[in-house]
Copies of this chain bind each other. A is one copy, B any other.
Amino acid sequence: MKHRVYRIAVHIVPRAGLLDPQGDTITDALHSLGFKHVQSVHVGRHIVIETEAPDALQAETAVQEMCEKLLANPVTEDFEITSAVPV
């Protein structure tokens, strides 16, 4: 079967309820820069993966597994995966 290359983005964010000192500090900084309306900021990672797979579904499944095994910290982070787009 022919494989092709898919691009998938992953967003990994700190789990809700955990302290997010980075987000809080950036919120404060934005306030003092005059962006008074900012209510909250959370910082996570945006990971773009290009991988070969027989189809989009299998590409997504693989990335899901990568997140569970390596990319996301299962204790402190949640992740979400965007749909695979052929490159």
Number of interface residues of A (CB under 8 A): 34
Q: How often does this chain occur in the complex, in copies?
A: 2
Instruction: Compute how far the CA of A29 lies from the CA of B69 in the bound complex, rounded to whole angstroms.
Output: 11
* Nearest opposing residue in chain B for A48, CB measure: B42
Residues 13-54 of chain A, each 1 if its beta carbon lies under 8 Å from chain B, else 0? 100000000000010011001010111111111111111110
Contact B42 A44 (CB under 8 A): no
Which A residues are within 8 Å of any B CB, using their own CB?
3, 5, 9, 11-13, 26, 29-30, 33, 35, 37-53, 62, 65-66, 69-71
Besides the contacts A37-B62, A41-B48, A43-B45, what 17 more A-B pairs have beta carbons closer than 8 Å?
A9-B11, A11-B46, A13-B48, A26-B70, A29-B70, A33-B66, A33-B69, A35-B62, A37-B53, A38-B51, A41-B47, A43-B46, A43-B48, A44-B47, A44-B48, A45-B45, A46-B46
